[in-house]
A and B are shown apart, each in its own frame.
Chain A
Amino acid sequence: MTALLDINDLRVTFNTRYGQVTALDGVSLHVNAGETLGVVGESGCGKSITALATMGLIPSPPGRIAGGSIRLDGEELVGARPSRLRAMRGADIAMIFQEPMTSLNPVFTVGDQIAEAIMLHQKVSHDQALKDAVALLDRVGIPSPKARVHDYPHQLSGGMRQRVMIAMAVSCRPKVLIADEPTTALDVTVQAQIFDLLNEIQRDFGAAIVLITHDMGAISEMADRVAVMYAGRIIEEARADDVLDFPQHPYARGLIDCIPALGREDHALKEIPGVVPPLHLLGAGCAFAERCEHANERCRREKPLLVNHDHHPAACHAVEEGRI
């Protein structure tokens, strides 16, 4: 099967006051139609940069796609004309952002904003687009959509705003939907509603979803496949069950063990000591070596490559050498 979205060896650099830093260092990802890929890692690992690069939204300058390719349904997006990217954004590939209040325009009604997205990509009248907006609001579970379509964002709760964002994102039935931490600002009960809605929408439309999150619990409920990112690289990638049950990379293990999960209260949580290193301080070795209990001399000297063991690639010398 050819992947719907196929990212290959993507490199993104930023010019900063510390000089040029590499935010994405050879990231390769793919996602098939009807599949959900979870991208997981702490803040600063490059998850959101991957999403922005895919959407053609890397702020430039200071950022730049320095190499690699992003193919959507066979079409190359790196280096595509801005007008072509504009036509594809929203129609073929859409994104749901973290904070629905800041990504909606406060001075237009939600109906107008959804209708605008529809009219950009389809030749329909404003009246027809508004009717479509009502149907979409109904589809994403907003009560009395006929009245709500005339509401402004501030009149809606956080969960309803995120539903509006989802309605807007799926208005043109995109092939790929990127959800960047779609529920971090929301309460758990609302988060559960949004996850259920995304799964339903995927069943209805067959869209491919890229879910960006730092929460392994969300991965468990949403993802078919998982890519774990650390310091601008993919360090492990496999089917969700394989990563959750048999994580290979010590960082992936740490992310799973540090969750205060329901059901194991009495022993101390496993900690990942320290923090993600700033990009300008990355050395020659494994970026995780400083925080890793299995690190040795080779780890500090030589960057591990993503090596495939039993369809479960991991970038770790200790795994490769059978030390863990």
Chain B
Amino acid sequence: MTKLLDVRDLTVQFDMPRKGLFGPRPVLEAVRQVSFTLEKGRALGIVGESGSGKTTAAMAAIRLTEAAGGQVLFEGQDLLTLSDEEMRARRRDVQLIFQDPYSSLNPRARVIDIVREPMDLMEMGTMEERVARVRDLFKLVGLRPDQLNLFPHQFSGGQRQRISIARALTTNPKLLVCDEPVSALDVAIQAQILNLLARLKDELGLSYLLISHDLGVVRHVCDDVAVMYLGKIVEHASRGALFDKAQHPYTQALLSAAPSLARRKSKGYVRPLKISGDPPSPINPPPGCAFADRCPRAQDICREVQPDLEDKGPTRVACHFPGPVAA
């Protein structure tokens, strides 16, 4: 299969405010040497808690956040070394869907103009062709052409997310980055949007980079999954392996924390794995494994030596003691 996106050792740093007048600026490393690949026509899910760096990693990969190091090969071309002009031309291949369709659509613009705008900016086709394309896209995402002249506030949350998707598709992108595409929506509406994303992927041969904190969402849409914790990928595998044979204790904790219809209060369920506390501060990350303080398996080596992401059995995992959940 052909690689669409090959991210190598991507690192993102943010300068923090100085402590004193002449003190050094502390550096927060939000994304620490993250590598992943995305093949054409597949969907990669990046999961993790807030602050894990999942959004920052994706934004740096498409150059919406400046990377401090690493390479992002998009169809073999390193996006990080492109000039602004070259990057602008590349933008049509990479589009974005945001979390909150209430704040990502201009409230003063009619939706026909909102959806057409990327084509105007890219100077694609004639005005008639652009309008015709907006109509086609409206039908494709399940909206009616007679709604073209309405304003965003006249649509429900699910419909607005359909508008965002239509706009993202105008430039015929190869890669769609979806940042928590359904977390602002009601559960009943989430299913509509997830089914739409799954259908578009098949029909248009799109590739997705999908960022979510919800494992159920990722499981439904994605072929591969990367789990991030404090700026690093701790486990990376195909969907089947990750959900059935997770090796990293953090992945296992996430899986056991996700609410499930199989766990019933009436049956007196017990979570297989519980973790307490919060992740450590990214300003001063611990020298060893970042998860060691919350990990039931942690030994001395975990606090001293950072584990690398390696092929160990069914998944790629960064852990000194990988394995299934202890019974």
Contact = CB atoms under 8 A, between A and B. Distances in A.
Interface of A: 36, 42-43, 141, 143, 157-160, 187-193, 195-196, 199, 214-218, 220-224, 239-241, 244, 254-256, 258-263, 265, 268-273, 275
B28 to A, nearest CB: 17
Nearest to B253: A189
Contacts of B186: 42-43, 214
Contact of A262 (B191, B243, B278): B243
**8 tightest Cβ-Cβ pairs between the two chains A and B:** A217-B259, A192-B257, A258-B191, A260-B220, A260-B216, A269-B191, A187-B49, A272-B188
B108 interface: no
Chain A CB count within 10 A is highest, among B192, B239, B265, for B265
A272 B195 CA distance: 12
Contacts of A218: 259
B54 to A, nearest CB: 12
Contacts of B265: 36, 199, 220-224, 240
Nearest to B192: A271
A262 B219 contact: yes
Contacts of A143: 277
Contacts of B262: 220, 263
A159 B278 contact: yes
B191 A261 contact: no
Contact of A189 (B239, B261, B275): B275
A258 B254 contact: no
Contact of A191 (B192, B257, B264): B257
B191 A270 contact: yes
B194 A221 contact: no
A121 B326 CA distance: 47
B220 A269 contact: yes
A269 B214 contact: no
A70 to B, nearest CB: 25
Nearest to A291: B188
Contacts of B156: 275
Interface in B289-326: none
Given A188-B49, A269-B191, A269-B220, A256 B256 contact: no
A42 B189 CA distance: 9
B33 interface: no
A259 B190 CA distance: 8
Contacts of B277: 143
B50 A187 contact: yes
Contacts of B284: none
Contacts of A273: 192
Contact of B189 (A215, A220, A262, A275): A275
Contacts of A223: 265
Contacts of A199: 265
Nearest to B257: A192
Contacts of B217: 260
Interface stretch (B1-9, B70-78, B118-126, B266-274): B266-274
A220 B275 CA distance: 21
Nearest to B240: A265
B266 A260 contact: no
Given A143-B277, A271-B192, 5 more contacts: A193-B274, A195-B259, A220-B260, A220-B265, A222-B265
Contact of A188 (B188, B198, B213, B269): B213
A193 B261 CA distance: 17
Interface in B209-263: 213-217, 219-220, 239, 243, 253-263
B189 A216 contact: no
A221 B275 contact: no
A242 to B, nearest CB: 10
Given A188-B215, A221-B264, A224-B266, A196 B187 contact: no
Contacts of B215: 188, 262
Given A224-B266, A268-B198, A215 B187 contact: yes
A181 to B, nearest CB: 12
B181 interface: no
A268 B258 contact: no
A106 B185 CA distance: 28
B187 A255 contact: yes
Contact of A256 (B198, B261, B264, B275): B261
B45 to A, nearest CB: 11
Given A42-B188, A240-B266, A262 B255 contact: yes
B259 A191 contact: yes
16 contacts: A188-B259, A189-B254, A189-B257, A215-B259, A216-B187, A217-B260, A217-B261, A220-B260, A220-B263, A223-B265, A240-B264, A255-B187, A255-B188, A262-B219, A269-B220, A271-B192
B103 interface: no
B264 A188 contact: no
A247 to B, nearest CB: 11
Contact of A216 (B192, B243, B261): B261
